[in-house]
Amino acid sequence: MSDGRARRVFVEMLREEWRLHSRLFRGSHFSLFPVFICLLVGGAAKLLAVTGTEPKTVFAGLHALVFVFGLHTGSLGFVGRDALRNLLGDVTLLVFSARTLPLSQNTLLGLFVVKDSVYYAVLFLLPISLGTVLAVHGVAGPLLVAATVSLLWMTLALTFVLGMGTTIAALGLTGRGVPGLALLAAPLVAVGAALASGVDVVSYTPYGLFLAQTPLRVGATATVILGVFLLGALTFDATAPRSARTVEPVFRRWWRRIGDPVATKSLLDTHRSAGGFGKVLFSAAVLFGVTAALVDFAGQITGVPPSTGISFGAILGLSGFTTYNWLTQSDDVTLYFAHPLSVNAVFAGKFRAFLLLGPLVGLAFYGLALAWRGGPVAEAVVGAVLLVGVACYIFGTTVYLTGLSPNEFLFDTALFAVFGAAMVLPLVPILIAGFAISPLSGPLLAALGGSGGVLGAVGVGLYRRSLPKWSTRYQQA
């Protein structure tokens, strides 16, 4: 716009994003996060390169992860409004301000996408690109490294934008009722049919552009991205009022079954927030898909059929973090202290809610993995023990480090590093056994089952040990 309104709103959106992170993650604590991300991703890429993984495979996996990150980021501003309201108060993001600002809805939506693309491209994608290229190609040939980093950064940014656009278009179509759902299913079916018939779908994505910078692939990538955003602009309405929902007064009935008021409130908050329990299932489903890909990938590298029970059990236990995150994301901690509740009682309720939701969801997907992949009964039993043990260990570690604010991991470099080390040290040996040793002997299975029990006990111990610390801190706040 000639009067500069769009530019002003774009700058304010960037400022809004920074302030949002500052309030959620204590401003200065994520200033070193890009450096940590560069080192972390570089270390992982170097490990894959050393184990004989082709660079093409590393870059393909990286593009897939960034696409998932784009899907998630696109959903935060729209389906995460309940959590933002409870965490920050009654706020209105600029992307929802078409009725009060002299800008159209489509302009605000476009500015929102550009803002997120710029913000996360610098904060995440640039350090990811630099760390990966240095790990795979080394420092020899500075010009080659610079060119590869630039190309990778560009295609990762396009992949991220494609993920965000896909989410916006999907949200817009799902809000259009049955016709929208049918239209949403059409491209999914088309892509599935193309893959089944052997069409190289990758060529029409930003990763295809990374592999070969031909005019055809440039045009195909641009067409896909523009098509997705055009569909989103035509169907998504960020200012549409939410339909009124009438809910039955079920708190007392749930309370009688669950036996704890805080656990009941936590589960009801999750159920009644945007996405409901479906977002817990979706998080576990994403982890399930990633695990399946990792199992196939490990089998190709080692030449040994991985253990379904051990590999799926250990990795699906990581869903404990996302479950606890959902159980606390709709909370304002200070509201609990308006009631005659101790801090210990609040944490006890969260623990009960976690036990009722987290391990059960993980075990449901674990059963699906066993039905799909099969495996010996003994390994299946040990894998189930590992899943519950890892989930409880993650719960205890998260509570010990962050209390009722697990989101602090996202951009607090020190907390993220400590949490990562606490996960890697016990889980890597278990995953090596599950991925690279076949068949698993009786003593090794017994040791793995025992490690699951030990991890669960350590998690419960960390949870209990953290209670005095958090009681003092929250009472002084």
Distances (CA, A) of 292 to 285, 372, 466: 11, 10, 35
Distances (CA, A) of 307 to 18, 149, 244, 270, 370: 44, 37, 48, 34, 10
Look at residue 446 and tell me whether its pLDDT is greater than 70: yes
* Average pLDDT value over all residues in the chain: 81
Q: Note the pLDDT tens digit of each residue in 8-19.
A: 777 877 777 767
Please spell the DSSP secondary structure of 54-68, one letter per residue.
Answer: -HHHHHHHHHHHHHH
The reported pLDDT for the residue numbered 176 is: 73
- Mean pLDDT throughout 155-176? 84
The reported pLDDT for the residue numbered 347 is: 92
403 Rama sector, left if φ>0, alpha if ψ -120 to 50, beta otherwise: left
Q: Which of 329-333, 348-352, 361-365, 445-449 has the lowest mean pLDDT?
A: 329-333
- Mean pLDDT throughout 145-160? 92
Look at residue 82 and tell me whether its pLDDT is greater than 90: no
SS3 376: coil
Look at residue 352 and tell me whether its pLDDT is greater than 90: yes
Look at residue 188 and tell me whether its pLDDT is greater than 90: no
Buried b / exposed e across 411-437, counting CB within 10 Å, b at 16+?
bbbebbeebeebbeebbeebbebbbee
- Mean pLDDT throughout 262-289? 81
Q: Taking the complete model, does pTM exceed 0.95, yes or no?
A: no
Q: Note the pLDDT tens digit of each residue in 395-437.
A: 999 999 988 888 765 566 778 888 888 998 899 889 888 888 8
The reported pLDDT for the residue numbered 378 is: 93
Look at residue 373 and tell me whether its pLDDT is greater than 70: yes
Please spell the DSSP secondary structure of 244-284, one letter per residue.
Answer: P------HHHHHHHH--HHHHHHHHHHHHSTTTTHHHHHHH
Q: Which pLDDT band, with edges at 50, 70 and 90, does 90 fall under?
A: very low
The reported pLDDT for the residue numbered 87 is: 41
Q: Note the pLDDT tens digit of each residue in 18-70.
A: 676 666 555 555 667 788 888 888 888 887 787 777 888 888 888 988 888 88
Cα angle vertex 12, ends 10, 17, to 5°?
Answer: 95
Which amino acid is residue 420, in one-letter code?
G
Please spell the DSSP secondary structure of 328-355, one letter per residue.
Answer: HHT--HHHHTTSS--HHHHHHHHHHHHH
Locate all alpha helices (DSSP H) within 89-138, ordered by sequence.
Answer: 105-120, 126-137
The reported pLDDT for the residue numbered 102 is: 65
The reported pLDDT for the residue numbered 30 is: 61
- Mean pLDDT throughout 214-241? 81
CA 403 to chain centre: 20
The reported pLDDT for the residue numbered 103 is: 66
DSSP 98: T
SS3 405: coil
Buried b / exposed e across 255-287, counting CB within 10 Å, b at 16+?
eeebebbbbbbbbbbbeebebeeebbbebbeeb
Q: Residues near 104 by Cβ (< 8 Å), separated by ≥ 6?
A: 98
Q: Which pLDDT band, with edges at 50, 70 and 90, does 286 fall under?
A: confident
The reported pLDDT for the residue numbered 467 is: 92
Q: Note the pLDDT tens digit of each residue in 92-125.
A: 566 566 566 666 666 776 777 788 788 888 888 9
* Half-sphere CA count of 430, side-chain side, radius 13 A: 33
Can you give the residue ranges of every domain in the chain? 1-239, 260-476
The reported pLDDT for the residue numbered 96 is: 60
Q: Which pLDDT band, with edges at 50, 70 and 90, does 348 fall under?
A: very high
Counting residues of the chain whose pLDDT is more than 90, the rounded percentage is: 25
